[in-house]
Each structure stands twice: as structure tokens, then as C-alpha cells.
Amino acid sequence: MSERLSIKASGGSFSAYVARPAATRAPAIVVIQEIFGVNAVMREVCDQLASYCGYLAVCPDLFWRLQPDVDITDQSQAEWDQALDLMGHFDVDQWVEDIRAVIDRVRSDPACNGKVGAVGYCLGGRLAFLTATRTDSDASVGYYGVGIENYLGEAERLAQPLMLHIAEEDGFVPKKAQARIIAALKDHPQVTLHTYPGRDHAFARPGGTHFHQKDASLANDRTVAFFKKYLG
């Protein structure tokens, strides 16, 4: 069952897509969008987490301060231009605070058992890392996060488990950046790293140019196992 949830934040309120599981009380997962907004891909992630994994899944509209209800794809140059323009104007610190507001709201939802994790993709992968370092998320996962290398100093704040999926041929994350991320985090007790040889950015996005079914399934299975271990 899906619905819309209103989240209060500094400066106003914003909506979130919610997929509810059959269970009356379950762990929750905040799904952090790519640069294309709360689109069909993100809604499907929520639906899968609810239907097949039994989680309360919530995907907030993080572009709300710039343009509410963005829902585009990666299938045309015009949509790419719009997405990149939005990405160029967002405020990372404000977005993390908005994610914190979502976590607080969801944790208090009667359908949540008190455990809340987060999973993010692309830009959301960076935000998943920052969610792990700056909020009380119980477990966080980032897929091919862009720009994480610029925030590695925050790793000392990690108090809860973090998993990162790194595409070795990621066109948005240069090899040197990947090496910095791995060197800084590989021995951290809270961090699990997985690298995917031959894979490019967004290899887990169904319908995308670089989608790879086998490695997407592998990454998703690892994510579900991770959440089952730390969220239940």
C-alpha cells in the first residue's frame, strides 16, 4: 500500500512517497533519491522494500525547496539538463537536515518499530554517507555515491553501520576518488565496501544505460542482507 506523507522541516513542509508493508510494526528505510526526483525508479525501490522485504519505505521529495514534485527520467537530454541544473543548486547541509527530519518523523510513526535505516543512489549515495555520519540512522547504504571523497574527514563520526557499493568504471567518480574512499574507509569497523569491476555509474538503475542485471541483483541482495542484520 502506498501513500503520501507530509514532513515538517525548517522553512516549511514537504512530501514523501510511502510504501507500507503488511506487518503492523516494522523497521523503516528512508530511500534517498537520485537527481531525477521521486520518480518511478525510486517508487519501485520503496515498493520492493515494502512488499518483498517487509520494510516501511519512505522516499522524501528533497528538491522541494527548489522545485516540488520533480519526477523525471534519464531518458532524454532535456531531463538530464533539468536534473543537473537542480543538482547544481542544492544545499548538501540542508538536505541532510531534511533527511534527519524524515528519520525523526518515520521513527515516531506507529507502523515503525523504532529502527530506521537509509539507502541512497548517485547524489543520494553521497547523502547516505552523510546520513550515516550526521544523523542517528541505524544503518545506511550508498550506491555509487558521487563526491564522497570530499567528506572523508567525517568518517570519524560513524557510530552505526555503513555499506557502500562502488562501480569501478564510474564515469562520475574518478579512479583517484575511488582509491581515496577505499583507503580511508576499508579498515573502519563500521564500514563494509563492495566494488564492482567493469560496472559504470547507476548499474543498479533498471532501464538505465549502464544497468547490469547480475551485479544489480548482487548489490541489492547484499543491501537486503545488511538491513536484515542491523534492522531486523
User: 201, 210, 212, 215: which is the annotated catalytic residue?
Assistant: 201
User: 170, 200, 210, 215: which is the annotated catalytic residue?
Assistant: 170
Q: 201 catalytic, yes or no? A: yes
Q: 221 catalytic, yes or no? A: no
Helix (H, G, I), strand (E, B) or coil at 58: strand
Alpha-helical segments (H) within 76-174: 77-89, 92-107, 123-134
Q: With beta carbons less than 8 A apart as the criterion, state whether 38 and 86 touch.
A: no
CA dist., res. 59 & res. 227, Å (int)? 17
- Give the residue carrying C-alpha cell 545506511: 140
CA dist., res. 95 & res. 120, Å (int)? 13
CA dist., res. 27 & res. 113, Å (int)? 5
107-137 exposure pattern, b = at least 16 Cβ within 10 A, e = fewer: bebeebbebbbbbbbbbbbbbbbbbbbbbeb
Catalytic positions, written as ranges? 170, 201
